[in-house]
Amino acid sequence: MTATGYEPLNVLKPVADRIWIIDGAPVTVMGFPFPTRATVIQLENGDLWVHSPTPLTNDLKDALAVLGPVRHLVAPNQFHFLHIPEWARAYPDAAFWMAPGTKERAAKHGVGLPNGQELQPREAQEPWAEQIDQLLVRGSRTHKELAFFHKSSTTTILTDLIEAFETGKLPARCRPFVWLNGIDDHDGKTPPLIRWTFSDKQAFAEDIETIVGWGARRVIIAHGRWYDRDGTAELERAFRKLLAPRQWDRAMRDMKARERDDDPT
């Protein structure tokens, strides 16, 4: 197994009350080893909700069994489905939830997914409606990703909308790619190949503002360094170029409103 720098792999790592991450083995895409990360939330009834599952080992199954039954498997965008089949076989009673286009893309890559339901775009599913917010981020012609917010731990969970690779943990040959794409960990953001698919910048910005407004203390991402503090500030930093025009427009409207209020005529 290739080292990722996030060892130990395939073990539960606590984040806050009722939420854990699992750092998984890398997935190689065009020769680039993407470190992977799943998120596990224990719902109030004890059921486990698993976001972007990584490889499932026997030891990990034993650790999960201590927490509760795995009831929900979530493919948050159409790229994060690789390990769904093995989890579905291990947990046949678990419901499978997916972003739009996931089943079709998996089929093109020869991966058969279990029967499941598409995630609702603007409202959380009933099993976790009062505990986890969800939002399908609009604006892209092709990239369909849902963001989630675990309310009790104030944790936002993203997948590929932010990538933040720690170059020191990557093979030297991969580091120029990360630097050129601006997705090294000191300034992680949306990779260009995904960002360029967002032709409707207004819809994209509106949804990112909603996500920022969740008020995250921490932000978990699937690839690279996640943010265990200052989550809202990290979101504002990562999406600053997208949000800046809207912030400027609001500032100008506020200034003009103050001028009207101060005008004695």
pLDDT digits 0-9 by tens, 128-184: 999 999 999 999 999 999 999 999 999 999 999 999 999 999 999 999 999 999 999
Sign (positive/negative) of CA torsion 178, 192, 151, 210? positive
pLDDT digits 0-9 by tens, 80-89: 999 999 999 9
Domain 12-258's class?
alpha beta
Nearest CA among 79, 83, 71, 64 for reference residue 24: 83
When pLDDT is averaged across residues 213-223 and rounded to a whole number, the result is: 98
Q: Partners of 14 in the beta sheet? A: 20
What does DSSP say about strands 218-220 and 155-157: parallel, antiparallel, or unpaired?
parallel
**Helix H segments across the chain?**
58-67, 84-90, 102-108, 175-181, 192-195, 201-213, 231-238, 240-262
pLDDT > 80? residue 8: yes
Predicted pLDDT of residue 76: 98
Report CA Rg, the chain.
19
pLDDT digits 0-9 by tens, 89-116: 999 999 999 999 999 999 999 999 999 9
| Domain definitions of the chain by residue range | 12-258
Which strands make up the sheet holding 19-29, listed edge to edge?
12-16, 19-29, 32-42, 48-51, 70-75, 95-98, 117-118
